[in-house]
Structure 1
Amino acid sequence: MEKILKFVDEKKFIEARQELKKKNVVDIAELFEEVDKENVVKVFRVLSKDIAADVFSYMGHEQRRLIIESLTDKEISNIIEDLFIDDTVDFLEELPANVVKRVLKNASEDTRKIINQLLRYPESSAGSIMTVEYVDLKKEMTVEDAIKYIKKIGIDKETINTCYVLGDDRHLEGIVSIRKLILSDNDILIRDIIKTDFIYVNTLEDQENIAGLFKKYDLLAIPVTDNETKLVGIITIDDIVDVIDQENTEDFQKMAAMAPSDEEYLKTSVWTLAKHRIVWLLVLMISATFTGNIIKRFNDVLESVVVLTAFIPMLMDTGGNAGSQSSTLIIRGLALEEIGLKDIFKVIFKEFRVSSIVGIVLALVNFIRIYYFEKTNFLISITVCITLFFTILLAKVLGGILPIVAKKFKMDPAIMASPLITTIVDAAALIIYFSMASWLLRI
């Protein structure tokens, strides 16, 4: 990039363009990350027209916004017309309203209509991520006619690997692969080689469910229809990879008790980061007051046997960690559709057996440590170890159940992750601990 910037500064634009042409469009977009704001537009204008739109589609949000705000109306029009529609919609969703108006003003009437239609679909729905640039065929065509038609219009389509066969009124009747067309005789009719058993989704289907279909059926593209099974668009694998990345990021943030955000960490302001974190931290802090109230309630027990206090952190930490292990596995299983709502009792039974084994092993090791090495009173050692066993049992079963319950009530299972599970288990561990101490030590 230093070499290219030097060419630009010396007004050697042809040399700069040749240097950029040597690279893949994705790598060129990455190079723009190294360019300061003052030079982004200068370098972008050096790009040849045939690759400028492709590079633009792979750029980061901030750079795309900076370029759009700096280009002339004619330059914006060229980019919009060269971009695939779904890429255009993606970056328009990130822009402020005044910039969106300017972009739409410079798009052709047909492009503008399609963009406005796609922008009206709910966020995270199939309609919001689909493209309308696909190959549609008529079932009355011969294979020879179909191939000629694909050669004529295919250059402007996002993919030609799968073609969509439409009947009257644009009803989707089947699909046919380009491989099937090439390997079939020229005079065969399309209706005789189409596949009528195919997967499709509605425009309002959630994008996370669609990602699951791509994984399950090894799809490269999926047709999107309206309520009358009329084809309105397709979703391609490149968009689904973005969806998977977005959903995984969102789940990680929720599991860490933060509000989801699409913005890059280093480009997000301190105030925004604080705002995303503070609400959940307040909720968890207030819920932790229950733990304090439990300790106050059993204050007499602690005053009678002060040594009990020393084991509280260990019990709470172990219980929280045990619950987090289970919830993480179940959340992953739900996300990959390896576990369903109907499996709740199987999960309970499995986690009960796992926690029994883990609880016994940890309780025995802990007993040896505190009784034989730390010379703690026998009854106190027994109290701690029995509490540890039941805490692990409860934590793992709760960690397995709560994500499934969340899914049942249409909530994101990721909410029931480490912070929330830990808070619940902490309170439960203290109740078990002090109740066991009161009973065994007769306090």
Structure 2
Amino acid sequence: MNLTLLNRAGARNPSSVLDGFNAADSVEFLNGRPSGEAVTILGHLPLPRAAEILSQPELERAPDLLSALPDAKATRLLAALADDRAADVVGGMNVAHRAAILRRLAPPARAAIEKLLAYPEGTAGAIMTAAFIAVPETATVGETLALVRRGDGRQAVYAVAILDAPGGRLLRMATLRGLISAAPDDSVLAAAPDADPVSVVPLTPREDVARLIRRHDLLALPVVDADRHVLGLVAVDDVIDALIAEQTEDVHKFGGMGALDQPYSRVGFLPMIGKRAGWLSVLFLSEMLTASAMQHYSDELEKAVVLTLFIPLIMSSGGNSGSQATSLLVRSLALGEVRLRDWWRVALREMPTGIVLGAILGCIGVLRIAVWQYAGLFDYGPHWELIALTVAAALVGIVTFGSLAGSMLPFALKALRFDPANASAPFVATLVDVTGLVIYFSIATLILRGTVL
């Protein structure tokens, strides 16, 4: 749909193309339109409707769309957003646009956004909303619900903070369910659990925030300072959005490439090459060590060419076992199921696991060689039993090494303060490929010396 058709469909009001669309459908529609058309539609929408759409994290190019709107409209739109979403949008703008639009905001709104932007990415402070409802402990349930009803729609209403009267420190957290279930004349404390509320500080990693919300079945988690003054709330939907973005980044890293900061269809040709070429070159250079290892054992290969038949089998089995272990440990570290100090427990677990898995593959390898030999499908020579034993022993050694290497590498990266997701499956596979060849030919030299070699 070009802009002319858009105007015709909208009967001189481009925003009418979204009539009957809910916010999610509107976002999907705008994501599929060129930037100019999306800006035109957004600019003609009533302020509440435009703010509702801009509030959706799924809206692509939100910073660019807001930057392209007239100054007055962009300022009003930004002021209508919740502080955390406004900070997300402003944070994606270039420095010049960011400074310009912040200058046009009212001082309180500007201060709230700048405060959120100051927190490091990936922390509770960076994803919390500073617009929340708080009441003193002397308030009643009826007064609290009246305050909720008078809200302007920007506050997080998953829960209400109850503050102690003298110092304004966090005392309890009341849920909406608790408030609705209590009598209007009851104290607001009657609508809150009789226990200290779970809270975090601004620099708490968002993964820890997600674990606490899941563990305690919360809809919102208060963020407090050292004196337990409430700075904001992290809502469950904000955590979900943040974790989806982080998991997307990890998946890209697991594939052996740089993380994309835009949807696949929006990434240009050259940026895509840049994201993929670096890691691909590193892996290619690493794989050159495989050629060096094979050159080192060239004499053995000349004497027993049959050994080359099993090189793909050996290399892939070690890489696969390493990739399995890496995937398990990266996820377990992210969820807090294991910690750095647990590395030795993991090693003790992966060692017998690798031996058993290698033995299973070794038995399958021996069976395959025996069937092919007896069925006349291929002649492995008079010492085929030793060839089969070599393959089986090599598989045990390589799968065990792959499991250990794949499980320990995420610990090493985390100890060095790198993202464990960088221990991607291709990287582990490359590492195990090189060492697997050394293990394979070393075992072959020991078993086949004096016969095939």
TM-score calculated relative to the size of structure 1: 0.91
CA shift at 1:200, angstroms?
1.0
Inter-partner Cα distance in structure 2 for 1:372 and 1:182 = 73
Aligned partner of 1:432: which letter? I
Structure 1 residue aligned with 2:131: 133
Q: CA deviation at 1:419?
A: 1.6
Structure 1: stretches of 5+ with no match in the other structure: none
C-alpha spacing 1:41/1:441, structure 2 compared with 1 (3 Å): closer
The answer on 1:420 being equivalent to 2:427 is yes
After TM superposition, list the pairs within 5 Å mapping 1:146-295 onto structure 2.
Answer: 146-152=144-150, 154-167=151-164, 168-191=166-189, 193-195=191-193, 196-295=195-294
Q: CA deviation at 1:7?
A: 6.7
Question: Contact between 2:174 and 2:189, CA under 8 Å: does it hold in 1?
Answer: no
Partner of 1:321: 320
Structure 1 residues 228-237 or 180-189, which shifts more? 180-189
- Aligned-pair CA distance for 1:63: 4.3
Would the aligned equivalents of 1:330 and 1:403 in 2 still touch at CA under 8 Å?
yes
Shift of 1:162: 0.7
| Residues 255 and 79 (structure 1), Cα distance of their counterparts in 2 relative to 1, 3 Å cut | same
- Distance in 2, matches of 1:413 and 1:257, equals 13
Give 3-state SS (helix, strand or coil) of 1:232's partner.
strand
Q: Is 1:438 matched with 2:445?
A: yes
1:158 maps to amino acid: Q
* Residue of structure 2 in register with 1:397 after alignment: 404
* Partner residue, 2:71: 73
Letter of the 1:393 counterpart: T
RMSD over aligned CA atoms reads 2.5
Note closer, same or farther for the CA distance 1:179–1:440 as it changes in structure 2 (3 Å cut): closer
TM-score, structure 2 normalization: 0.89
Compute the displacement of 1:22 (Å): 1.8
For residues 91 and 306 of structure 1, what CA distance do their matches in structure 2 show? 62
Give 2:448's aligned amino acid. Answer: L
- Alignment deviations for residues 262-283 of structure 1 (CA, whole Å, 9 cap, x no partner): 2122211222222222332333
Could you tell me how far apart the structure 2 residues matched to 1:370 and 1:78 are?
Answer: 74
Note the C-alpha offset of 1:352: 3.2
- 1:375 maps to a residue whose letter is D
Asked whether the equivalents of residues 226 and 232 of structure 1 are also in contact (C-alpha less than 8 Å), the reply is yes
Give the structure 2 partner of residue 142 of structure 1. 140
Which of 31, 41, 65 is matched with 2:39 structurally? 41
Aligned to 1:111: 109
Q: Which stretch of structure 1 is more off in the superposition, 243-252 or 184-193?
A: 184-193
- Shift in alpha-carbon separation, 1:10–1:51, aligned structure 2, 3 A: closer
CA contact (8 A) 1:133 1:156 kept: no
Indicate if the aligned counterparts of 1:135 and 1:157 stay in contact, CA closer than 8 A.
no
The number of residue pairs the alignment matches comes to 440
Secondary structure class of the residue paired with 1:76: helix
Q: Secondary structure at the match of 1:187?
A: coil
Q: Which digits, 9 at most, give the CA deviation of each residue in 1:319-344, with x for residues without a partner?
A: 11121122212222333333344544
Task: Give the distance between the partners of 2:403 and 2:10, measured in 1 at CA.
Answer: 66
User: Can you list the C-alpha shifts for 1:273-332, whole angstroms capped at 9, x where unaligned?
Assistant: 222223323332333333333222222222222222222122111111121122212222
Deviation at 1:216, TM superposition (A): 2.2
Match of 2:305 in 1: 306
Matches within 5 A, 1:375-394: 375-376=379-380, 377-394=384-401
Partner Cα separation in structure 2 for residue 60 and residue 182 of structure 1: 32
Residue 85 (structure 2) pairs with residue 87 (structure 1): yes
AA in 1 matched with 2:440: Y
Counterpart of 2:413?
Answer: 406
CA contact (8 A) 2:175 2:191 kept: no
- Per mean C-alpha deviation after superposition, the further-off stretch among 276-285 and 59-68 is 59-68
Call closer, same or farther: CA 1:40–1:89 in 2, change over 3 Å: same
**3-state SS in 1 of match to 2:152:** helix
Counterpart contact for 2:10–2:17, Cα < 8 Å: no
What SS does the corresponding residue of 2:171 show, helix, strand or coil?
A: strand
2:375 aligned residue: none
Cα contact 1:135–1:163 (8 A) shared by 2? yes
Higher mean C-alpha displacement, 300-309 vs 405-414: 405-414
1:329-387 C-alpha deviation (Å, 9 max, x unpaired): 22223333333445444433443343333322221221232244133133223212211
Shift of 1:51: 0.8
**1: distance between equivalents of 2:167 and 2:261?**
39
Rounded to whole Å, the distance in 2 between the matches of 1:304 and 1:426 is 22
1:422 Cα deviation after fit: 1.2
2 CA distance for matches of 1:309 and 1:380? 11
Contact 2:137 2:162 in 1 (8 A): yes
User: Aligned letter for 1:197?
Assistant: D
Deviation at 1:132, TM superposition (A): 0.8
2:125·2:203 contact (CA, 8 Å) conserved in 1? yes
Candidates 45, 54, 57, aligned match of 2:55 = 57
In the TM superposition, what whole-angstrom CA distance separates every residue of 1:229-281 from its partner, at most 9, and x where no partner exists? Answer: 22111111221111111111111122122222321222112222222223323
168-177 vs 316-325, which moves further: 168-177
Partner in structure 2 of residue 366 of structure 1: 365
| Residues 325/67 of structure 1: CA separation in 2 closer, same or farther (3 Å cut) | closer
Q: Report the Cα distance in structure 2 between the residues aligned to 1:58 and 1:41, rounded to whole angstroms.
A: 16
How many Å separate the matches in 2 of 1:399 and 1:290?
18
Structure 1 Cα separation of the partners of residues 65 and 272 of structure 2: 26
Superposed CA deviations along residues 42-80 of structure 1, whole A, max 9, x for unmatched, are 322332222111112337666434433332222112211
Q: What code does the residue aligned with 1:57 have?
A: S
Distance 1:159 1:396 in 2: 46
1:28 lines up with 2:33 in the alignment: no
Distance 1:157 1:11, change over 3 A: closer
